[in-house]
Amino acid sequence: MQPIHEIYGQLPPQKKIAITMHQKPDADAMGSALALYHFLRQFGHEVSVISPTNWARWLNWMEGVNEVWDYELEKADAEKALDEADWLFCLDYNHFSRTKTMAPKLASLRNTKILIDHHREPDEPSFQYGVSNTGKSSTCEMMYDFIVNSGHREKINKYIADCLYAGVVADTGSFRFSSTHASVHHMVAALKEQGLEHTKVHEALYDNFLENRLRFLGHVLTNKMEVFYELNTALIFVSKMELLKYEIKTGDTEGLVNYPLSIQGIKLVGCVIDRDEERKWSFRSKGNFDCNSFARKYFNGGGHFNASGGHDSAPLYETVQKFKQAIKENRSLLQ
């Protein structure tokens, strides 16, 4: 994989470009994709943005989201755009497998593939150009660097600023996580100087849910959370029946894993959601507990040191028991 700066000089000539992201995109994935979309269109490129799946309705405020293809629902149009693309940008994922059913299609393409991502262990041979930096807070911060370092800072308009800020504030936990380095604040300061209205973005991300989600959170925190004080660990487990009862949609469980971190002494939180095809895990930690290694070892996952995900084909009860056994095996690291 050649360094990303090798494509800076190739930006002006008009091309057909496809931008992709991971399945069930969050604010960082969608924000970086749409920021790049608005940036590249200023060069006259024909740009298509493709999500492997649907996304949370609270992302629909982002300018340009109505132009995003849902691969599962609009496969023919999405594949046409992929086939015709000269460049394929791969944002916020390190391996094609994170794009679910779109993965075989991406692997088969012969266009120029460009990676911009901050997750561990990227599949570098699959990309011709790119940058992978686990020290960055978010792909949106990396997208900001990409635009500025390419010499086109002046192209950052309101739409780009909104999208970039949304991804950064989401992936840093509103600037609380250790990944919030000085570069993050320098970026936000620069965006503010260019007119960013951060309050409106924050409200769009966090004050944009339906009543049923709040009632769902109350139910989960009251009835579906276990705390293991002797292991400084908390667990949340949600069944398919509860998702249906509270009419939970894509994105409504976002951030659920973070709530138990506010409990004094808690170092690790595991949250499992019972989906149709598998059980989806999220892990968050404080201090020196490595979520990435934990997720890889026990739950077919990975991610960042203090924030990772995983999945399990076992039934909900069995995967919960696996988690309880896993934290016992890691007792020395949790105390």
298-323 per-position pLDDT tens digit? 999 988 899 999 999 999 999 999 99
Query: In this predicted structure, what is the pLDDT of residue 98?
Result: 93
pLDDT mean over 203-230:
96
Counting residues of the chain whose pLDDT is more than 70, the rounded percentage is: 100
> What's the pTM?
0.92
Query: In this predicted structure, what is the pLDDT of residue 159?
Result: 97
Query: In this predicted structure, what is the pLDDT of residue 257?
Result: 96
Average pLDDT along the chain:
96
Coarse DSSP helix, strand, coil percentages of the chain, rounded to the nearest 5 percent: 45, 20, 35
Query: In this predicted structure, what is the pLDDT of residue 36?
Result: 98
Judge whether residue 237 has pLDDT over 90. yes
Secondary structure letter of residue 309 according to DSSP: E
pLDDT mean over 214-225:
98
CA distance linking residue 253 with residue 256, whole number of Å: 6
Query: In this predicted structure, what is the pLDDT of residue 31?
Result: 98
Query: In this predicted structure, what is the pLDDT of residue 276?
Result: 81
The pLDDT confidence band at residue 38, using thresholds 50, 70 and 90, is very high
Query: In this predicted structure, what is the pLDDT of residue 190?
Result: 97
Query: In this predicted structure, what is the pLDDT of residue 19?
Result: 98
Query: In this predicted structure, what is the pLDDT of residue 127?
Result: 98
Domain annotation for the chain: domains and CATH numbers = 2-206 (3.90.1640.10), 211-334 (3.10.310.30)
CA distance linking residue 173 with residue 43, whole number of Å: 33
pLDDT mean over 76-87:
98
pLDDT mean over 76-96:
97
CA distance linking residue 132 with residue 120, whole number of Å: 8
Query: In this predicted structure, what is the pLDDT of residue 85?
Result: 98
Tell how strand 16-20 and strand 87-91 pair up: parallel
Judge whether residue 178 has pLDDT over 90. no
pLDDT mean over 43-63:
97
Alpha helices in the chain (DSSP H): 27-41, 75-84, 103-108, 139-149, 158-171, 182-193, 198-206, 211-223, 240-245, 291-299, 316-329, 331-334
Query: In this predicted structure, what is the pLDDT of residue 154?
Result: 96
Please state, in angstroms and as integers, the Cα–Cα distance from residue 179 to each residue in 135, 192, 200, 216, 240, following that order: 7, 20, 24, 30, 33
**Residue 63: partners with Cβ closer than 8 Å, 6 or more residues away:** 34, 38, 159, 162, 163
- Give residue-wise pLDDT tens across range 250-299: 899 999 999 999 999 999 999 999 988 899 999 999 999 999 999 999 99
Per the structure block, which two tokens stand in for 244?
Answer: 């249906």
- Give residue-wise pLDDT tens across range 98-122: 999 999 999 999 999 999 999 988 9
Query: In this predicted structure, what is the pLDDT of residue 260?
Result: 97
119-148 burial by CB neighbour count: b if 16+ within 10 A, else e? bbebbeebbbbbbbbbebbbbbbbbbbbbe
Query: In this predicted structure, what is the pLDDT of residue 160?
Result: 98
